[in-house]
Structure 1
Amino acid sequence: MKILFKSLVLFSFLITSFLFSQSITKSTFLVKGECAICKERIETSAKKSGATTAVWNVDSQKLDLEFDPAKISADQILKNIAEVGHDNEKYTATDDVYEKLPSCCHYKREPSLLKNDILEQPIKKENQYFVRGNCSSCKARIEKAASTAGADSSIWDPQTQIVTLNFDPSKTSADQILKKIAEVGHDNEKFLAKDDVYKNLPDCCLYDRTLPFGVKSSLVHDDENPEAKTEIEDHADHVNKSIEEVKVTKLADATALNRKETGLTFNINSKELLKAACCNLSESFETNATVDVSFTNAVTGTKQLKMLGLDQKYTSLTKELLPSIRGLAAPYGLNLIPGRWIGGIQLTKGGSTVVNGYESITGQINTELLKLQDKPETSLNVFADINGRVETNITSTSQLNEHWNQSVLLHGNATLEKKDANHDGFLDQPIGNQINAAYLLNYNDLEHSGLGSHFGISFVKDERFGGQTAFDKKIDRSQQNAYGVGINLSRFEIWNKTGYIFKGKPYQSIGWMNQFTTHQQDSFFGQRNYFGNQNTFYSNLIFESIIGNTNNKFKTGASFLYDQYDEDYLTQNYKRTETVPGVFFEYTLTGVKYTLVAGVRTDFHNLAGTQFTPRVNFKYDLTPKTILRLSAGRGFRTANIFAESQQYFGSNRQIEILGNGGKIYDLKPEIAWNYGASLQQEFKLFNRKASLVADFFRTDFQNQVLTDLDVSPQKLVFYNLNGKSFANSFQTQLDLIPLKNLEVRLAYKYYDVQADFIGGKREIPFMAKNRGFFNASYSTEKTEKGAFWSFDSTLQLIGKQKLPNLNSNPAEYRLPEFSKSYTTLNAQIARNFNKNIRAYVGGENLTGYTQNNPIIDPQNPFGNYFDAGMVYAPIMGANVYFGLDFKF
């Protein structure tokens, strides 16, 4: 027992001695980096230097360290981190080490993080005070004001923003001197200048009034380096702890081409979406030069997107990176995602990653729903236009606790007025209403447990009626002679995405996505009935890790897609079930100046057979501001000929399918290769940042389901391609800032889209070869209350389009071979009264151009020549809208 007791005492003494000898210090430092590879490099370097723990956050750029100062110093740790390429507040990496980092790790090096450069507030001595200013004129004004107030002498340093005062306390005081300095326009730590005095200072003297005292504002007013403003503001609270609250505002382009992405990807944020009415997803691209938006027919009022010269069905449209607008949702799905629900859009031209599936041929458009940002927010939006459309949106994001947050999204709209501006007896747009609701729940504990999850559920009900003005939806169709159109949609979605980052391995993660969707349409077009129901289950399991080091990364996994279709057209029923298990592997090689992403997937389609889908994307930084991108890839999809051709249901064309033994409508699936190249150049124009992007893409179809409108004006014929079909797309876009607060975008597009039809090789109809685009956005300076004006305008030039051949019709029911060119103009003026109230008024198609006689033979809608699907231009004249936004 004595031996045991002595042993316990000795053991306790040794443990106590050990614990007290460990003087662990916790510190936080600013370290620059860009991505997960940077995170691993910074933390590894810190731990190799002797830190017991090291956690670096890419968003805050902060490194949390725990270390024993008896063994290693913070200076030595930060010095070692700089030696592997990462600037920090103590040391700067050498240029040659920085340049050798992978391109994805190239962070912005200006402004410096060195404390003696920016971030550390200068130390004041007695009779020294912070006074804001900018230049030598400020210096003269400040020192003269001090002298006038009784100072014997004064010296103001524009670098430290400190004025040193020498005065007799029996004659004046520091407060009196500083008050006088404020009266001539210069804020200081005792008194603030009046707004009207500040605004009357020369332009060179207009310092930034939002920065902490001691931070030189001239760094912020450098128009050539807007990133400096972002970075200084991001770290403002680190600079001056005495200030109660520091507002951080990130500067970001409304539409920005992502320099880090290997593919040609544009990020569209909420700032861009507010430039136009943006009532739903189809209207979110009005100010974007990449996507073409057009009406599909003259009776349903729906719009569709086109990219790279091809219809929307060849673009993968996802929501939260899950399949969204596809299958039976293709014709109207864009109208079911309200614009005010959208937190951001990522638009990728050309073949996208194999991880997201096989259906992308011309590109991918992913929509992110609104989620909690910096703080909880509830918003109310009301909207109305002169055509009788009204809309209300309520969105609320809130924090439930440290790890959980939620979003509640509500939307309702109605079109109430029956409008027939061209007096053809048909409504220019259908009347009806939509109710839409969604709930999102998010969990984030990536920093500690490595776990994150996102859950969503949504429901929408949309009902529209159109056709002749005399049509009454309340009367049974069998008892009225008027031509009517009715479309009743309902859609339900539930989804979850869960991910886990392996502890100690920030480069290794696993994620699992699941989604169930049911979409139903019950509709009629005159005497034609169409009913469609689609149930879809999608699952995708993704594992990501490295091979040796983070320059060699890979993603691999398996997916499963289940589609059940049930369609009735006239008296014919079409049912099918598609099951598609698949596996994929994608490898990313990152070099000093290049990134290569190569992937392959194999899908085992029960009706289309085994499909092999390779894709490759390559990015090379010719210079830090010149980027070359190349891409190539294969995609395949199964056509839904009835859902995707509903723009022609408003006619008396008889549908004919020329089958070739396929298992879906007796047709084979569509298969295409897409190749692309782009060059991105950033430069200075008007002494400000500008960029020029030129890209060329070609799509070659191995097989395609052609929709032939030329066999006969009374027929709509579907058949598989027998020959060649291709689409060439060239676009060049210039973004510049000619004046402060004025952003300009210019673009030109050329399309050449042809196919071998039964009647021979010809152009695809309704596709303009030449298109021009101009967008300008200007905003005034914000007042102290956050009020400002913004002005936006978009001008589009649409060249002539090949039209279907109707020459066998009587002369009065024919179309010319090509349409006329035309121009459209959209504009909007908005006033932000403060951070919480915004009012806007705008106009669409302000040039007033409309297509003459968009409906062929409207007086006889049940006759042989009636056709409302030959739409190539706007069918409604100028529209004016207005709206209000409230934030709580």
Structure 2
Amino acid sequence: MKLYISKLVLGVFLLFTSFTFAQNISKNQFRVKGNCEMCKERIETTAKKAGATSARYSIDLQTLTLETEPSVSPDEILKKVAEAGHDNEKFKTSDATYESLPGCCHYERDAQQSETKAEVSDHQHDHKKENEFYVKGNCSSCKARIETAAKDAGANSAEWSAEKQSVILNFDPSKTSADKILQKIAEVGHDNEKYKSSNRVYKALPECCLYDREIPLGASNPKVHFEESENHGNHEGHSSESNGETHQKNIEGVVVTASKAATALSKKEAGLVFNIDKKELLKAACCNLSESFETNATVDVSFSNAVTGTKQLKMLGLDQKYTSLTKEQLPEIRGLASAYGLNFIPGRWIESIQLTKGGSTVTNGYESITGQINTELLKDPATPETSLNLFSDFNGRAEANVTSVAPINEKWSQTFLLHGNGTFGNTDMNHDGFLDRPKGTQINVGYLLNYNDLEKSGFGSHFGINFVKDNRTAGQTAFDKNIAQNEQPAYGVGIDISRFQVWNKTGYVFKGKPYQSLGWMNQYVYHQQDSFFGLRNYFGKQQTYYSNLIFESIIGNTNHKYKAGASFMYDGYDETYLIDHFKRNEIVPGVFAEYTLTGLKYTLVAGARADFHNLAGTQFTPRLNFKYDFTPKTILRLSAGRGFRTANVFAENQQYFASNRSIQILQNGGNIYGLKPEIAWNYGASMQQEFKLFGRKSSIVADFFRTDFQDQVLVDLDRSPQELTFYNLEGKSFANSFQTQWDFMPFKNFDVRLAYKYYDVQADYLDGRREIPFMAKHRGFVNLGYATNKNTHEGFWSFDTTLNWVGKQRLPNTSSNPAEFQLPSYSESYAVLNAQISRNFNKKIRAYAGGENLTSYYQKNAIVDFRNPFGNYFDGGMVYAPIMKANFYVGLDVTF
């Protein structure tokens, strides 16, 4: 009985002690910056060592939940967390400590906070009074203005200190509040820890009162006036001011004015990945995807034909067909769309572009050899807007774009996309009797529906549908499309394309496991082209169904991630060229797996896939990317990988249809046009170095890539000027590519980008090794951009100019032609200058004007024997330079 009573007393004592202890434990939540599982471990470990009873960090919410005893100060814990490298709402880490973190831990820091100014001193934190608040100011006029505003808002007294940049308030809580007082202070022009003044009010202050607008970190969950900044050329379309009123968003942490780079090289990715923001696309005319890279040094944009006026992309010294072109991570420009597909993605529809040089991830397929260019469409409901774009050049081209992104409710949002363009009138600048670009119209309509409930149910889904109708007429200016083709006295080209696609992407994030997800993508595409080139007809139909299932998770912790899945591709082709009919079905099921290892200074991504092609046989595709951070500012990348593809010899070479070359296919037993599939290995190395120049961030990137082919389908233009011959490679074919790029800012708002590229591209043709034609060995690039008053709402001017220098190129052999129809062995070098000036008006209206090819250099012999288009020597495919002189344009963007 005594033993029972003793146990009961002891139990009651322990229960009482635990209850008392629990009552004394305080629980608080603070905002702390972090990026990955390594950050989470570092933050929690540091907090516990600093005295926290419990520390739980959320990467998604960017919050640290602390449980502490009364004797432990949360401020001291947060100070230690900052010393370990993580900015938080009370303390900011030093730049040196931040830079010493592993590359994967480099979270996005609040912009314009320097180590000396943004860090709040220990003295301020230790001695901050209960009603003391940080308020920015400069002089005695500021002091009078701040104190008067505080009293107007109900404060009994207010004492502002310029030295401490703080105000001590005395007020009756039953009559007013600190929030109301600080809001009033912001309204008269002074940023503080809770509210940020509008740019309009700030700029109206006397010159002596224009303080540094940086806000110190000093308050839990502060409310600030959200001011979205603009880069030159930026037209985000979302304004934080309307009719002179400043809108307020309640957000955790401090938001400061920031300038996001329009084009940025990702420091986190193992591969060489450039993120191109839509602001970059506004630096040029950018009417479609083919013009989206005119200010980018990595991709070469060139005319492929003097008759149809189409443009093609080249990367790493190789044609566009070797680059995987995707939209929303789904296959897009391939097959029959190869020749004209770049025209079907309007520039104003694009949210961003991700450009990967070298082998990309195996999860996206097997066709990527030189890299991947992925386009993301407008669909962010966080910045709802309706925009109108009008564009016209001085040579008869006009277009209109309407885009609308809007939330339906908390989970659903939608995007409407509408594009129309037309080219009217006869443009013949070189007076050869041929149109320099085709006439015609395009109607392009898209609709996107998005569902996002990842936080609650874990589900998210994206649905899209797109329809394109494009009609083009080219050829001689005397061509009359109303006359029957066989009765037509003039040479004409007609291209009629209809394209329809529908797609869906659905994902699920497992509850309690944010690192584990399942995604499923599906797409159907129907593409039809009816065309003629003089007396030659080409008709093609393609139906494609694509499906990709991806499971992602970890092994132990997030330092070891993996993806695994299966894909399926069906391509149905039906083509007719002249009287020859080609029909085939390609069926390709595949499986893949990819492993990512993240260490303190390195990231390794190794993947492989097996595809079971019904016509090309089983293909194994390994790929590897490795990144090593010597320092946070010195990064080495290595890559190697294999890719394969089946050549569509007619669709991919339509630039040569506008000629009188006869087509020959030298079959070698393959199942696709009698040819084998193309296989290539790509190897690459790059070095990225960041440093300070003129006190500002500067970076240099140098990369080298080599591509080696097996069974490449060669396009031989040299056997005879009257023949176009296709055959599989027997021997070697390689492309060496070297590029170095330097980005820097010599003074505020002035951006400079310089680049140089060297290509060595050769192949063993039937009669020996030769350089690939139309590929310059040397290229130079200069892009300059300047903006005035970039971060104001009163509007600003921006100026952008791009100079491309192209060295000499080998031209196909025409020595067997009569002398007057022969081309030189090499072209001359030339330079093309583009420039644009734009004016932004309060972020609602943007007007711009520009010029392309301002040097007015054009190829004078673009069409061989243009006087006799039905003769043996006529050839419109020998294009190495622009075929139009200077062209000027104007445009208008309006956001509602």
TM-score scaled by length of structure 2: 0.84
Range that drifts further, 779-788 or 592-601: 779-788
Cα distance in 1 for residues equivalent to 2:409 and 2:710:
53
CA contact (8 A) 1:602 1:612 kept: yes
1:395 pairs with 2:403: yes
SS in 1 for 2:701: strand
Give runs of aligned pairs for residues 872-887 of structure 1, distance below 5 A: 872-887=880-895
SS in 2 for 1:863: coil
Cα distance in 1 for residues equivalent to 2:45 and 2:544:
44
* CA pair 32-388 structure 1, distance change in 2 beyond 3 A: same
Aligned to 1:14: none
Aligned to 1:615: 623
Deviation at 1:507, TM superposition (A): 1.3
Aligned to 2:231: none
Deviation at 1:500, TM superposition (A): 1.1
CA contact (8 A) 2:90 2:218 kept: no
Aligned to 1:56: 58
Residue 212 of structure 2, aligned match among 204, 207, 216: 207
CA contact (8 A) 2:89 2:254 kept: no
Residue 726 of structure 1, aligned match among 730, 734, 751: 734
Q: Counterpart amino acid of 2:347?
A: G
Deviation at 1:375, TM superposition (A): 2.9
Deviation at 1:830, TM superposition (A): 0.4
* CA pair 146-520 structure 1, distance change in 2 beyond 3 A: closer
Cα distance in 1 for residues equivalent to 2:340 and 2:200:
55
* CA pair 823-446 structure 1, distance change in 2 beyond 3 A: same
1:105 pairs with 2:125: no
Give runs of aligned pairs for residues 23-62 of structure 1, distance below 5 A: 28-35=29-36, 38=39, 56=58, 58=60, 61-62=62-63
Deviation at 1:207, TM superposition (A): 3.0
Q: Counterpart amino acid of 2:32?
A: V
* CA pair 106-164 structure 1, distance change in 2 beyond 3 A: closer
Cα distance in 1 for residues equivalent to 2:492 and 2:53:
75
CA contact (8 A) 2:158 2:169 kept: yes
CA RMSD in angstroms comes to 4.2
Cα distance in 1 for residues equivalent to 2:123 and 2:871:
77
Aligned to 1:8: none
Give runs of aligned pairs for residues 677-696 of structure 1, distance below 5 A: 677-696=685-704
* CA pair 687-844 structure 1, distance change in 2 beyond 3 A: same
Deviation at 1:260, TM superposition (A): 0.5
Q: Counterpart amino acid of 1:400?
A: I
CA contact (8 A) 1:735 1:746 kept: yes
Residue 613 of structure 2, aligned match among 585, 605, 612: 605
SS in 2 for 1:340: helix
Aligned to 2:360: 352
Deviation at 1:83, TM superposition (A): 9.9
Give runs of aligned pairs for residues 709-748 of structure 1, distance below 5 A: 709-748=717-756
CA contact (8 A) 1:778 1:792 kept: yes
Deviation at 1:833, TM superposition (A): 1.1
* CA pair 791-212 structure 1, distance change in 2 beyond 3 A: farther
CA contact (8 A) 1:343 1:369 kept: yes
* CA pair 402-864 structure 1, distance change in 2 beyond 3 A: same
Deviation at 1:61, TM superposition (A): 2.8
CA contact (8 A) 2:120 2:216 kept: no
* CA pair 884-256 structure 1, distance change in 2 beyond 3 A: same
CA contact (8 A) 1:37 1:507 kept: no
* CA pair 723-605 structure 1, distance change in 2 beyond 3 A: same
SS in 1 for 2:375: strand
Aligned to 2:496: 488
Deviation at 1:623, TM superposition (A): 1.1
Q: Counterpart amino acid of 2:778?
A: N
Please list the CA deviations of residues 6-48 of structure 1 after superposition, one character each: whole Å capped at 9, or x if unmatched: xxxxxxxxxxxx9999989885420111246656886899999
SS in 2 for 1:613: strand
Q: Counterpart amino acid of 1:208?
A: R
* CA pair 527-118 structure 1, distance change in 2 beyond 3 A: farther
Residue 314 of structure 1, aligned match among 291, 304, 322: 322
Aligned to 2:478: 470
Residue 435 of structure 2, aligned match among 409, 427, 432: 427
Aligned to 1:13: none
1:860 pairs with 2:868: yes
Q: Counterpart amino acid of 1:512?
A: W
Cα distance in 2 for residues equivalent to 1:311 and 1:319:
19
Cα distance in 1 for residues equivalent to 2:124 and 2:451:
34
Aligned to 1:871: 879
Cα distance in 1 for residues equivalent to 2:264 and 2:622:
28
Structure 1 spans left out of the alignment, 5+ residues: 1-17, 167-177, 221-232, 234-239
CA contact (8 A) 1:185 1:201 kept: no
| Matched pairs, number | 828
% identical aligned pairs? 67
* CA pair 810-159 structure 1, distance change in 2 beyond 3 A: farther
Please list the CA deviations of residues 593-635 of structure 1 after superposition, one character each: whole Å capped at 9, or x if unmatched: 0001111111111111111111100000011100000001111
Deviation at 1:703, TM superposition (A): 1.8
Cα distance in 1 for residues equivalent to 2:78 and 2:619:
51
Q: Counterpart amino acid of 2:213?
A: D
Range that drifts further, 28-37 or 407-416: 28-37
* CA pair 512-390 structure 1, distance change in 2 beyond 3 A: same
CA contact (8 A) 2:646 2:677 kept: yes
Aligned to 1:444: 452
Cα distance in 2 for residues equivalent to 1:703 and 1:331:
22
Residue 349 of structure 2, aligned match among 341, 349, 358: 341
Q: Counterpart amino acid of 1:466?
A: A
* CA pair 146-662 structure 1, distance change in 2 beyond 3 A: closer
SS in 2 for 1:805: coil
* CA pair 758-590 structure 1, distance change in 2 beyond 3 A: same
Residue 161 of structure 1, aligned match among 140, 161, 165: 165
1:823 pairs with 2:824: no
* CA pair 668-617 structure 1, distance change in 2 beyond 3 A: same
CA contact (8 A) 1:42 1:56 kept: no
Cα distance in 2 for residues equivalent to 1:241 and 1:438:
31
Aligned to 1:7: none
CA contact (8 A) 1:22 1:68 kept: no
SS in 1 for 2:290: helix
* CA pair 241-817 structure 1, distance change in 2 beyond 3 A: closer
Q: Which has the higher contact order (CA 8 A, sep 6+)?
A: 2
Aligned to 2:235: none
* CA pair 712-22 structure 1, distance change in 2 beyond 3 A: same
Q: Counterpart amino acid of 2:640?
A: A
Range that drifts further, 94-103 or 514-523: 94-103
CA contact (8 A) 1:50 1:71 kept: no
Cα distance in 2 for residues equivalent to 1:757 and 1:657:
14
Cα distance in 1 for residues equivalent to 2:203 and 2:104:
46
Deviation at 1:93, TM superposition (A): 8.4
SS in 1 for 2:260: coil
Deviation at 1:529, TM superposition (A): 0.4
Give runs of aligned pairs for residues 690-705 of structure 1, distance below 5 A: 690-705=698-713
Give runs of aligned pairs for residues 209-358 of structure 1, distance below 5 A: 250-358=258-366
Cα distance in 2 for residues equivalent to 1:506 and 1:45:
23
Cα distance in 2 for residues equivalent to 1:651 and 1:330:
19
Cα distance in 1 for residues equivalent to 2:147 and 2:507:
65
SS in 2 for 1:713: coil
Q: Counterpart amino acid of 2:106?
A: H
Cα distance in 2 for residues equivalent to 1:529 and 1:479:
15
CA contact (8 A) 2:307 2:436 kept: yes
Residue 800 of structure 2, aligned match among 779, 784, 792: 792
* CA pair 241-66 structure 1, distance change in 2 beyond 3 A: farther
Q: Counterpart amino acid of 1:736?
A: F
TM-score scaled by length of structure 1: 0.85
Structure 2 spans left out of the alignment, 5+ residues: 1-17, 149-156, 171-181, 228-239, 241-247
Aligned to 2:9: none
CA contact (8 A) 1:132 1:213 kept: no
Aligned to 2:671: 663
